[in-house]
Amino acid sequence: MIEQLLAHKTIRKYKNTPVEDALLNRILQAGCRASTTGNMQLYSIIITRDEVRKKTLAPCHFNQPMVMNASLVLTFCADFNRFNKWCKLNNTEPGYDNFLSFVTAAIDALLVAQNVTIAAESEGLGVCYLGTTTYLTAKIIDILKLPKGVVPITTLTIGWPDENPEQVDRLPLDSIIHQETYNDYTDDEIMSAYREKENRDENRKFVAENSKETLAQVFTDIRYKKSDNLLFSNMLLSVLKEQGFMNQ
């Protein structure tokens, strides 16, 4: 198992071969063994296989080719709708219309998504997360017909790998781990933590191609710009209000 985790790489190109229902079922069974808050299982998973629906979903993910290319698109949703309904049918009033409840359900959904990732990879499948799920969230809600109490949190594209990319870097473990209490970084420690990442050929190329001076600028000025973050953050807050999570 540890060997598998150490070998992880995101796969963005897939063969045309479908993922059989029986295999998908096995992966989902394993995925849904993830721990969840109070065992409430505050998540739902929407499976998209249909080509037409994938086509309508693709622009919500900025037309990243994995959506059309993958055999399966799984949208993981924070879901209090099911649990709230159960409460109401059992003579009690749920008090889960607040931001903490959203975070709780989002944590559940993410734990399941990562379990599904590991299960899929253990069967030789390739997986890519789509962070775009929390950008144009309202459109996804519309397309997948998500009721109040349900918010998409992340998406996985899954298929049989048709590429074998190099593994990408990770920060050195000792720059991430803190013994007992947080040991805030000196400037030197920060520079040394990111040095290897900055010196990698592909990252140097990335900086040059974007006419930037530093890799950090590629993140702040191009990949995850403040103006985009602010826009999508405000859109997500509206979605949370609309879906009933900001009432307190």
Ligand X SMILES: Cc1cc2nc3c(=O)[nH]c(=O)nc-3n(C[C@H](O)[C@H](O)[C@H](O)COP(=O)(O)O)c2cc1C
By beta-carbon proximity to ligand X, the closer residue of 4 and 183 is: 4
Sign of CA dihedral 107, 170, 164, 200: positive
Binding mask 157-186 for ligand X (x = CB under 6 A): -----------x------------------
In terms of phi and psi (left: phi > 0; alpha: psi -120 to 50; beta: otherwise), the region of 51 is alpha
CB 44 within 8 A of CB 82: yes
**Tokens 């990252």, residue located:** 203
CB 134 within 8 A of CB 110: no
- Torsions phi, psi of 16, nearest 5? -75, -15
Binding window for ligand X (CB under 6 A); candidates: 5-13, 78-86, 216-224, 238-246: 5-13
At its nearest, how many Å lie between ligand X and the CB of residue 84? 26
At its nearest, how many Å lie between ligand X and the CB of residue 64? 6
Cβ-Cβ contacts under 8 Å for 14 (sequence gap 6 or more)? 66, 69, 70, 71, 126, 157, 158, 159, 160, 161, 162
CB 109 within 8 A of CB 78: yes
Residues 39-68 binding ligand X (CB under 6 A) are 64
Assess 109 for contact with ligand X (CB under 6 A): no
Assess 132 for contact with ligand X (CB under 6 A): yes
Among 19, 130, 150, 239, binds ligand X (CB under 6 A): 130
Assess 192 for contact with ligand X (CB under 6 A): no
Between CA 218 and CA 179 the distance in angstroms is 31
Assess 190 for contact with ligand X (CB under 6 A): no
Among 10, 41, 98, 175, binds ligand X (CB under 6 A): 10
Assess 116 for contact with ligand X (CB under 6 A): no
By beta-carbon proximity to ligand X, the closer residue of 61 and 141 is: 61
By beta-carbon proximity to ligand X, the closer residue of 60 and 138 is: 60
Binding window for ligand X (CB under 6 A); candidates: 79-87, 124-132, 177-185, 215-223: 124-132
By beta-carbon proximity to ligand X, the closer residue of 64 and 217 is: 64
* Residues binding ligand X: number (CB under 6 A): 12
At its nearest, how many Å lie between ligand X and the CB of residue 12? 6
Between CA 81 and CA 61 the distance in angstroms is 25
CB 134 within 8 A of CB 48: no
Q: What is the DSSP string of 66-126?
A: HHHHSSEEEEEEEE-HHHHHHHHHTT------SHHHHHHHHHHHHHHHHHHHHHHHHTT-E
Assess 5 for contact with ligand X (CB under 6 A): no
Residues forming contacts to ligand X in the complex (CB under 6 A) are 8-10, 12, 64, 128-132, 154, 168
